[in-house]
Amino acid sequence: MTTFQTHSAEETTELGRRLAAELKPGSIVLLRGDLGAGKTTMVKGIAEGFQAAKADDVTSPTFTLVHEYRGPDIILYHIDLYRIDTQRELDTLGLDDLLAPNCILLIEWGEKFPRLQSEQNLEIALERVAETERRIMLTTP
């Protein structure tokens, strides 16, 4: 496990840009942390790292559930399961179909579903330490 500390949203976005290099095509990345921890902020950087979207164009998929960002090499799916409560609702999203070899799934609130808890998934856990300070822990499979 690798731990980072950031002191602004911009620093977290920058970390996301760098972490993009660690993410493997065809994989699931679980973003853990409370509301406001910085999960979506991290995705802004990851999307920039893959040249899939500008940070400002990455918004929370809380209501839309799935956002798609297409880069030259990779398609990112940014998924927020905060409002999904049952396995049945999860199934209707068809996440399995999105997991193609040239795609990466970035999932917020994936820990709600045991089925998404896999040793094979990279996990980025964010903790709010103070108003602008975040501890970010990366666990690679």
* 18-26, 33-41, 67-75, 84-92 -> range binding ligand ADP (CB under 6 A): 33-41
C-beta separation of 54 from 65 below 8 A: no
Give 118's contacts (C-beta < 8 A, 6+ positions apart).
28
> Which residue type occupies 83?
R
Give 139's contacts (C-beta < 8 A, 6+ positions apart).
1, 122, 123, 124, 125
The one of ligand ADP, Mg ion, none whose footprint includes residue 12, by CB under 5 to 8 A per kind, is ligand ADP
Among 25, 36, 94, 141, binds ligand ADP (CB under 6 A): 36
* Residue owning tokens 């500008």: 54
Applying CB under 6 A, does 129 fall inside the site for ligand ADP? no
User: Per-residue x/- marks for Mg ion, 14-53, CB under 5 A?
Assistant: -------------------------xx-------------
Applying CB under 6 A, does 103 fall inside the site for ligand ADP? no
Q: Given the complex with ligand ADP, which of 85 and 133 has the nearer CB atom? A: 133
